[in-house]
Amino acid sequence: MTVGVWLCAWAVAAVVAGSATAQAGPIVKTPAGALEGVADGGVVVFRNVPYAAPPVGTLRWRAPQPLAAWKGVRPAAEPGPACIQTAGGSGYRGPESEDCLSLNIFAPAAGRGARYPVMVWIHGGGFVGGTGSRYDGSRFARDGVVLVTINYRLGRLGFFAHPAIAATSPDGALADFGLMDQIAALQWVRANIPAFGGDPGNVTVFGESAGGQSVNALLASPLARGLFEKAISESSFAAFPGAALDQARAAAVTYAQGLKISGDAVATAEALRAQPASAFTQAGALTDPGAPRPIVDGVFMSANPLAAFEAGAQIKVPLIIGGNSFEASEFAELVASAPKPVIARLGGDPDKVIAAWGGEPRRAAADYLTFTQVIEPDRRMARDEARAGSPAWVYYFSYVPQSLRASTIGAWHGAEVPYVFDTLNKTPVAARAQPLMPASFPAATPEDEAMARAVHGAWVAFARTGKPGWPAVGPHGDVTMVYGAGGAVVDRSFDKASLDDLEGAARTRAAK
């Protein structure tokens, strides 16, 4: 059904129903049932749209199952609950539920028979927090893109490798349930998005932080093949490996023992599924080996994304990848209190790194962490993509709002998101104030707004044409789009010497 057709259906429904439903929203029919959204300033929005069966009861720790049909018209005006959040999560303070596998759609209201490019956003939150409903896709819709945001299972409800689950499940050793949710959402988009005016043959998947890591994981998984045509990975900390299966299994067993659950596989699996969801929300340090995160489970993916790219085994689609100048803000307290141990843990000689990276320990540690964990791996993945014959573009976001340049050392983790969505003043800086970074976002200046137009415009152009507007990298190229205080500037030798050294050391370690 085209946009024009379903808008006409909405108008006819309103006329037939009379004045009592004169304020009814647009109605779209999907195979599972009809949805009633809202219209707002040239944009139609459908929220809390289910894409899979609720993963509750016996479906906890199962691959997402087909959605049951409903009768009548399902209201789709209000956001649905977030997936259960691990304590500490991403600062979300709204309704939560295990019944959370839903998505939100922002579509242009105009355009009879049009097929708009589609962008599917995967939220961040360290795989333990966040929700797709926090993001406003209206600007994308006004610029001719159908924007979809999704929820996926989080924490130990989304990433759990207990051997009893594997032994009793038809899904086998599957442990990346949250990533399988993303597959199911993309399959839903492929099947249903034409009813909302979207082109199912022109889908761009993109995400930030854990969402960026998800994009990398999707690119490394054969299960995602054919579900999208382009990808954007923002601030993915690509150097962070997925958990090894044996390590993840041991962590899951230890966690279950903490709940006093043990025994044979059937009894253990039943006891785990009988627990309240709150039993699986215990907080853990982001760097804890047992913390919930993607697992190299041999079902969703058989290798970490970096290794898959180096082997040429990734899904080959046009790719934008990049990060921010102060990604270390994610670990700001640690960097501020123990800069030398941070450098040592990352494999560097603290005194040599501090001397080579400016001389001030905290700033050197922050830059070294940012470059070793984000900026260099991004360039490496882009180079490997180019070697495989697929175009890739690299960006570096260092722009700081004008009024904050004296109070922060760079563009913090997540700082690019309000520029990508062109929603300055609507996106919080962080869930909590941290050392070396601001606590709140200021009123946007004309310069800030110009940067938002530049970044957002590049993402929209990529969705439409497969090209963001700056040169792609070559197998050994260093072309980087730098979004900084000087505007959007193409740099053809961005920090080449430092990045070459870091890449050589990283590839040597990986080969051992």
The residues that are catalytic are 209, 327, 413
DSSP state of 495: T
Sign of CA dihedral 406, 411, 413, 418: positive
Pairing of strands 38-40, 487-491: unpaired
Residue (of 60, 97, 103) closest to 81 by Cα position: 97
Rounded CA separation 475/69 (Å): 48
What is the rounded distance in angstroms from the CA atom of residue 318 to the CA atom of residue 386?
Answer: 9
Query: Cα separations (Å) of 222 from 58, 216, 226, 231, 300?
Result: 27, 12, 9, 15, 8
- Cβ neighbors of 20 (< 8 A, separation 6 or more) are none
Helix (H) or strand (E) holding 324: strand 319-324
| Measured CA distances, 461 to 110, 204, 353, 467 (Å) | 19, 11, 39, 6
**Phi and psi angles of residue 324, each rounded to the nearest 5 degrees, phi first:** -110, 165
Q: Which residues pair with 38 in a beta bridge?
A: 45
Cα torsion angle, 46, 155, 204, 142, sign: positive
325: helix, coil or strand? coil
Pair of tokens at residue 164: 């009893």
Q: Which residues of 362-390 are buried (b: 16+ CB within 10 A; e: fewer)?
A: bbbbbbbbbbbbbbbbbbbbbbbbbeeeb
**Residue 92 CA: distances (Å) to CA of 48, 83, 331, 357, 432:** 17, 11, 19, 36, 11
Task: Report yes or no: 35 and 27 within 8 Å, Cβ to Cβ.
Answer: yes
Q: How many Å separate Cα 364 from the centre of its chain?
A: 28
Report the 10 Å Cβ neighbour count for 433. 11
In the block, tokens 């199952």 appear at 65
